[in-house]
Amino acid sequence: MTKKCVRAIFPGSFDPITNGHLDVIERGMKLFDELIIAVGRSPVKNQLFTPEERVEMIDELIREKKMTNISVESFEGLTVGYATGKKADVILRGLRSLTDVQYEFQLAMTNRAVAGIETIFIMTSEQYGFTSSTLIREVASLGGDLSKLIPNNVYERIKKHLKE
């Protein structure tokens, strides 16, 4: 009997990537043979970094942490279309709160109905349950200390970006 290789995508804006995202990635990589971090291009969100900068920052983290079964790419369009094109078996999503559950439940049901792709949820560790990229951008713009909420390479880039 041959073992099936399970490919998952972890989509998000990752603007910027947070320690909460990393928590989900590190735990997710233990569940799947291959994990693709899919950096979405959102025309709606007020973005701090370009998709290319976000991919670069995440690539740095993957190399630093020696994560071998993970890749990072940017994509445009519907997540389910990207997942189908990558022949992904599942979509990985992190959950922080009951608000996330309600929204993510609707997305998961829609993705299964549209493309037959399943969604697997991982609860974020307690210390990251309040963290979001939106909150990080707001705290950064007001000069707050983010050193415990985001990876160091990302924090340094934010400080440099805000000086410009």
Residue 4 is a catalytic residue: no
Q: Which residues of 7-19 are buried (b: 16+ CB within 10 A; e: fewer)?
A: bbbbbbbbbbbbb
- Choose, from 93, 96, 137, 157, the residue flagged as catalytic: 96
As a whole number of angstroms, the distance between CA 128 and CA 35 comes to 21
Catalytic residue among 13, 54, 133, 157: 133
H or E segment to which residue 40 belongs: strand 34-40
Please state, in angstroms and as integers, the Cα–Cα distance from residue 142 to each residue in 86, 87, 160, following that order: 39, 42, 14
Catalytic residue, from 42, 45, 97, 148: name it: 45
Q: Note if 161 is an active site residue.
A: no
Biggest CA pair distance of the chain: 57
Does the annotation mark 137 as catalytic?
no
Q: List the catalytic residues.
A: 21, 45, 96, 133
